[in-house]
Amino acid sequence: MKTAELYESPRFDQNENLSKPGHTERRVCCNKPMKPEQIKYMVHMTTAWVAVDTEDENVVKENGYESQGLFPIGSECKNKMGKEFIFKT
């Protein structure tokens, strides 16, 4: 299992104040709001806050990590991560 640090946009904190009607989700890397139906890509994070290249929680556990779950990632930020860490919804 491969791991990677999560890319964080330099505008992450600034984007905290962005809000739009119906945009109830936040992109994990840039913190921009999005509608649930706009989610196309996810990244699997551990409780140590590293991205993993598998959706299988058992594999994560076998490698000494605990799954934090899948988080939405935007199309621009996904390009900052390795392809093996991005999962289509």
Q: 3-state SS string over 8-43?
A: CCCCCCHHHHCCCCCCCEECCCCCCEECHHHCCEEE
Structural domain of 84: 3-88
What per-residue confidence (pLDDT) applies to 81?
96
Local structure of 89: helix, strand or coil: coil
Neighbouring C-beta atoms of residue 16, cutoff 10 Å: 12
Mean pLDDT throughout 14-38?
96
Mean pLDDT throughout 35-57?
97
Task: Categorize the per-residue pLDDT at 20 as very low, low, confident or very high, splitting at 50, 70 and 90.
Answer: very high
Provide the domain count of the chain: 1
Indicate the average pLDDT of the chain: 96
Q: Interior CA angle at 26 toward 25 and 31, to 5°? A: 165
Answer yes or no: are the C-beta atoms of 74 and 51 closer than 8 Å.
no
